């Protein structure tokens, strides 16, 4: 009996052992089978996901801490297809709140590929619309109504410009793919955008990984003064309207360090609606005409010719010339703007009356090597290196170029046959206002990264003339302005400057009816703290810069001294004493 | 001369006694096998209790880690949300203080742009035009994470493996 039990027990044990062995063998077989690898891969795939951490795009401030470009919350509205109960109700609610058609939404909800679990209905939805939908979902949830179940809202940031069109030509814009176009947004896109970081985020909370440090994009502080920019843009718009000009630009800089304080150009666009770009601009060079558009500057370039001649010792302020009203250069006769003979003139008189004959004579006396050498050193025909996207280099023909003729030596001296940008002219003339030295114009004042502020030092762009020459010419231009262009003056302040009325070249010679008017000036003359350049295209009320650009300069100078706290000369001299 | 007399005693031979006792014990166990079984059961239970304690400890640590991991994930989400809200609020504030908004508010309050003749300048000895201030509000606010010590991230087995590799066992 006892033996029988022992045998049975052994059989049961053997059976169990066999079963256990079978299970173990099966486990090993499954684990090592070919299918196991597939399942392992699948398991790994669902164990977590790669997530891209995009840094917040850096902000852009003006020099006084006013936000010019920031970020705003918007929503991606989508539907989790597995949780969706009623495509009809969903399409109805979404189309009513998102400005889409019912058919459009319904098609997305019902005709998405079967493998899709989630479908985006609309991205960049404004907070108001999203909040409205959220409230609707909440109401239905409270009533246990599942008709909008599966509706999801994913918030994220979108570039936003609180000042709308203000300084749009400087800032540029960012499209929805996060790329900057034009201006600061394009030039500093890499800094502003920061570096996205992709990491594997496990779903298993036991494997919670550390948060990767994704530093925000670098925040930029510009040299722009927002209030001055607003005033200058307003003055430009008024001037274009008052003088019937097609387009215009106004630049205000600090000649000492090249900081751009204001840079107004037309047309401007609301940066929050950058879709209007194509309706406003024919090509990229029009986006910011102060750096992208070139033109023949006309008589404002005479200040550079005079600076070169004084510096080379070709003339002195007292050098006299008998102006007969015409001069022949390279076999071509050059005349004054009014075709008159102005008789004996010294060099101040040549500038004061803007005599083409005088300046053509000066450049002829200098010779091609000296004249073009100085123009090169002034940066004519070269980009200034301004930290904005889309700068044009301009054009300065040289002897030996296929399209250079001997007469160009004469005409170039008074700004014909040369293509410059307003910023190029301003930088060149800044040598006269700044002891003979030029500073590279720039808009970046400092960068803020990881809680530190890094100021950007000014860049030296060369010394085309000596400090003595600069002082001499500065005084000549102040006298010239006082005696000739009274509309540019500002009571209480001694300013220096020069008008420029330029004919417009066409395929058939120069346009006899339209001009481009310019003005370059600075102040106070004894201690220049601001510099202004004005360019208006084809004013219709008057073709003369002295009647159009000069008064605009006066208005800009008036606002500049107020906003930059520059007291009148009398007060300043008292403080200095 | 007397012959040597071997040492004698009345006590029983100890060798014989021990053999007898061993025989008795063996006999007793043969008579009561439950004594051996109880010892085996005792050892087995001891092992089971040990394993159970280690398992309970491991489960406890794992559960705590899971809860903490979930909290970290939630906090990460909160940080992202707060950063986004901060950026949004900064932009909203800039909207409210934009040039156009401030200008219209000033005009509504009866202010007008100042004219050059209306300005009075006062000479203040030693006054210097202030440079643009450092923008404290624009500081990078992204969270700084310090590397967690390995004790907070590795499993018991990983710790054991590392300890064997690097000889760090206590």
Task: Give yes or no for a contact between A250 and A534, defined as CB atoms under 8 angstroms apart.
Answer: yes
Judge if A450 and A400 occupy the same domain: yes
Please name the member of A157, A163, A210 whose beta carbon is closest to the beta carbon of B145.
A210
Asked if the structure places residue A322 within a domain, the reply is yes
How far is it, in rounded angstroms, from Cα A146 to Cα A82?
A: 13
> Given an 8 Å threshold on Cβ–Cβ distance, is A67 in contact with B139?
no
Q: What is the pLDDT of residue A240?
A: 97
User: Which residue's entry shows tokens 């004790």?
Assistant: B151
> What DSSP string runs through A21-47?
HHHHHHHHHHHHSHHHHHHHHHHHHHT
Per-residue model confidence as pLDDT tens digits over A58-90 = 999 999 999 999 999 999 999 988 888 888 999
Asked if the structure places residue A325 within a domain, the reply is yes
| Other CB atoms within 10 Å distance of the CB of residue A416 | 22
Per-residue model confidence as pLDDT tens digits over A373-414 = 999 999 999 999 999 999 999 999 999 999 999 999 999 999
List the single range of A36-40, A44-48, B1-5, B78-82 with lowest mean pLDDT: B1-5
Judge if A188 and A267 occupy the same domain: no
> Given an 8 Å threshold on Cβ–Cβ distance, is B135 in contact with A206?
no
For chain B, helix, strand, coil in percent to 5 are 65, 0, 35
A445 touching B (Cβ < 8 Å): yes
- The three-state DSSP-derived secondary structure of A194-252 is CCCEEEEEECCHHHCCCCCCCCCCCEEEECCCHHHHHHHHHHHHHHHHHHCCCEEEEEE
Task: Give yes or no for a contact between A262 and A224, defined as CB atoms under 8 angstroms apart.
Answer: yes
Judge if A286 and A401 occupy the same domain: yes
- Which of A165, A190, A222 terminates a domain? The answer is A222
Q: Decide if pLDDT at A371 tops 50.
A: yes
Q: What is the pLDDT of residue A414?
A: 94
Q: Decide if pLDDT at A193 tops 80.
A: yes
- Which of A222, A238, A269 terminates a domain? The answer is A222
Look up the ipTM and state it.
Answer: 0.80
Please name the member of B81, B99, B138 whose beta carbon is closest to the beta carbon of A59.
B138
Q: What is the pLDDT of residue B138?
A: 45
Task: Give yes or no for a contact between B101 and A66, defined as CB atoms under 8 angstroms apart.
Answer: no
A325 touching B (Cβ < 8 Å): no
Judge if A350 and A411 occupy the same domain: yes
- Which of A179, A199, A222 terminates a domain? The answer is A222
> Given an 8 Å threshold on Cβ–Cβ distance, is B99 in contact with A163?
yes
Judge if A316 and A457 occupy the same domain: yes
Judge if A146 and A271 occupy the same domain: no
User: Which residue's entry shows tokens 């040369």?
Assistant: A418
Please report, for the domain that includes residue A277, its CATH number: 3.40.710.10
Judge if A297 and A278 occupy the same domain: yes
Asked if the structure places residue A342 within a domain, the reply is yes
**Per-residue pLDDT for chain B (170 aa), expressed as one digit of tens each?**
445 555 555 666 777 777 888 888 777 766 676 777 788 889 999 999 999 999 999 999 988 888 888 888 788 889 888 988 999 999 999 999 999 999 999 999 999 988 888 888 887 777 777 766 555 444 444 444 445 667 777 777 788 887 777 765 54
Asked if the structure places residue A31 within a domain, the reply is no
How far is it, in rounded angstroms, from Cα B39 to Cα A227?
A: 94
Per-residue model confidence as pLDDT tens digits over A161-186 = 999 999 999 999 999 888 999 999 99
Structure-model confidence comparison of residues B32 and A494, the more confident one: A494
| Other CB atoms within 10 Å distance of the CB of residue A236 | 25
> Given an 8 Å threshold on Cβ–Cβ distance, is A219 in contact with B138?
yes
Asked if the structure places residue A1 within a domain, the reply is no
Asked if the structure places residue A471 within a domain, the reply is yes
Judge if A136 and A251 occupy the same domain: no
Total domains present in chain A: 2
Please report, for the domain that includes residue A94, its CATH number: 3.90.1310.10
Task: Please name which of A134, A153, A142 lies closest in space to residue A93, comparing C-alpha atoms.
Answer: A134
Report the percentage of chain A scoring pLDDT > 70.
Answer: 98
Judge if A439 and A417 occupy the same domain: yes
Q: What is the pLDDT of residue A401?
A: 93
> Given an 8 Å threshold on Cβ–Cβ distance, is B68 in contact with A59?
no
Residues A101, A106, A107: CA angle, nearest 5 degrees: 100
How far is it, in rounded angstroms, from Cα B69 to Cα A290?
A: 55
Judge if A161 and A272 occupy the same domain: no
Half-sphere exposure of A196 (CA within 13 A, CB side): 7
Q: Which residue segment(s) compose the domain that A348 sits in? A: 226-576
Q: What is the pLDDT of residue A569?
A: 92
Please name the member of B72, B121, B145 whose beta carbon is closest to the beta carbon of A208.
B72
Buried b / exposed e over B48-74, threshold 16 CB at 10 Å, is eeeeeeeeeeeeeeeeebeeebeebbe
Judge if A347 and A388 occupy the same domain: yes
Strand A326-329 and strand A332-335: the pairing is antiparallel
Judge if A297 and A436 occupy the same domain: yes
How far is it, in rounded angstroms, from Cα A288 to Cα A251?
A: 11
């Amino acid at each position: 009996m006892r033996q029988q039990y022992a045998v049975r027990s052994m059989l049961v044990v053997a059976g169990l052992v066999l079963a256990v062995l079978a299970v173990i063998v099966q486990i090993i077989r499954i684990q090592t089978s070919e299918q196991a690898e597939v399942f392992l891969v699948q398991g790994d795939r669902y164990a977590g996901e790669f997530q891209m951490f995009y840094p917040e795009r850096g902000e852009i401030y003006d020099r006084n801490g006013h936000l010019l470009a920031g970020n705003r919350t918007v929503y991606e509205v989508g539907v989790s297809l597995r949780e969706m109960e009623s495509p009809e109700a969903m399409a109805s609610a979404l189309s009513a709140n998102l400005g889409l058609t019912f058919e459009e939404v319904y098609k997305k909800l019902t005709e998405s590929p079967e493998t899709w679990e989630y479908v985006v209905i609309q991205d960049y939805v404004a907070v108001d619309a999203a909040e409205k939908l959220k409230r609707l979902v909440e109401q239905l949830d409270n009533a246990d109504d599942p008709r909008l179940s599966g509706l999801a809202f994913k918030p994220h940031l979108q570039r936003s410009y609180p000042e709308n069109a203000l300084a749009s030509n400087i800032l540029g814009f960012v499209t929805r793919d996060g790329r900057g176009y034009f201006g600061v947004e394009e030039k500093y896109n890499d800094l502003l955008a920061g570096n996205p970081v992709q990491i594997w985020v496990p779903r298993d909370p036991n494997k919670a990984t550390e948060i990767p440090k994704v530093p925000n994009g670098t925040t930029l502080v510009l040299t722009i003064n927002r209030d001055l920019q607003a005033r200058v843009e307003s003055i430009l718009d008024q001037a274009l309207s008052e003088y019937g000009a097609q387009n215009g630009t106004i630049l205000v800089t600090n000649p000492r360090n090249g900081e751009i304080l204001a840079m107004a150009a037309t047309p401007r666009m609301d940066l929050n609606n950058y879709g209007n770009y194509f309706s406003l601009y024919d090509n990229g060079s029009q986006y910011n005409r102060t750096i992208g558009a070139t033109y023949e500057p006309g008589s404002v370039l005479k200040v550079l010719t005079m600076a070169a001649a004084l510096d080379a010792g070709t003339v002195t302020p007292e050098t006299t010339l008998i102006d007969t009203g015409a001069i022949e250069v390279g076999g071509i006769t050059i005349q004054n703007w009014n075709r008159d003979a102005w008789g004996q003139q010294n060099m101040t008189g040549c500038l004061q009356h803007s005599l083409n004959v005088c300046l053509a004579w000066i450049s002829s006396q200098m010779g091609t090597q000296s004249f073009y050498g100085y123009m090169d050193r002034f940066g004519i025909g070269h980009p200034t290196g301004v930290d904005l996207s889309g700068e044009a280099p301009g054009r300065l023909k040289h002897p030996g170029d296929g399209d250079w003729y001997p007469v160009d030596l004469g005409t170039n001296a008074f700004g014909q046959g040369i293509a410059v940008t307003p910023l190029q002219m301003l930088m060149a003339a800044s040598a006269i206002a700044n002891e003979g030295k030029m500073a590279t114009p720039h808009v970046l004042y400092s960068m803020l990264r990881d809680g530190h502020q890094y100021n950007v030092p000014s860049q030296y762009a060369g010394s085309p003339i000596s400090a003595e020459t600069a002082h001499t010419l500065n005084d000549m231009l102040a006298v010239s302005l006082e005696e000739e262009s009274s509309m540019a003056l500002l009571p209480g302040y001694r300013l220096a400057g020069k008008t420029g009325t330029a004919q417009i070249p066409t395929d058939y010679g120069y346009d006899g009816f339209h001009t481009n008017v310019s003005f370059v000036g600075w102040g106070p003359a004894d201690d220049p703290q601001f510099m202004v350049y004005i360019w208006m295209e084809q004013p219709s009320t008057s073709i003369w810069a002295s009647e159009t650009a000069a008064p605009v300069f006066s208005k800009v100078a008036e606002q500049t001294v107020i906003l930059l706290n520059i007291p009148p000369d009398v007060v300043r001299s008292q403080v200095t004493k | 001369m007397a012959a040597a007399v071997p040492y004698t005693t009345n006590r029983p031979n100890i060798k014989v006694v021990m053999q007898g006792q061993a025989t008795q014990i063996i006999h007793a166990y043969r008579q009561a096998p439950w004594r051996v079984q109880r010892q085996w059961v005792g050892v087995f239970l001891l092992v089971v209790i040990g394993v159970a304690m280690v398992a309970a400890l491991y489960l406890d640590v794992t559960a705590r880690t899971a809860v903490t991991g979930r909290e970290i994930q939630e906090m990460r989400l909160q940080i992202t949300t707060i950063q986004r809200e901060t950026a949004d609020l900064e932009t909203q504030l800039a909207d409210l203080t934009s040039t156009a908004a401030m200008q219209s508010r000033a005009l509504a309050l009866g202010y007008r742009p100042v004219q050059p003749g209306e300005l009075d300048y006062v000479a203040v000895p030693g006054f210097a035009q202030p440079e643009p201030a450092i923008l404290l509000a624009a500081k990078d606010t992204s969270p700084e994470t310090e590397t967690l010590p390995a004790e907070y991230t590795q499993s018991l087995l990983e710790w054991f493996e590392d300890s064997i590799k690097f000889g760090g066992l206590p």
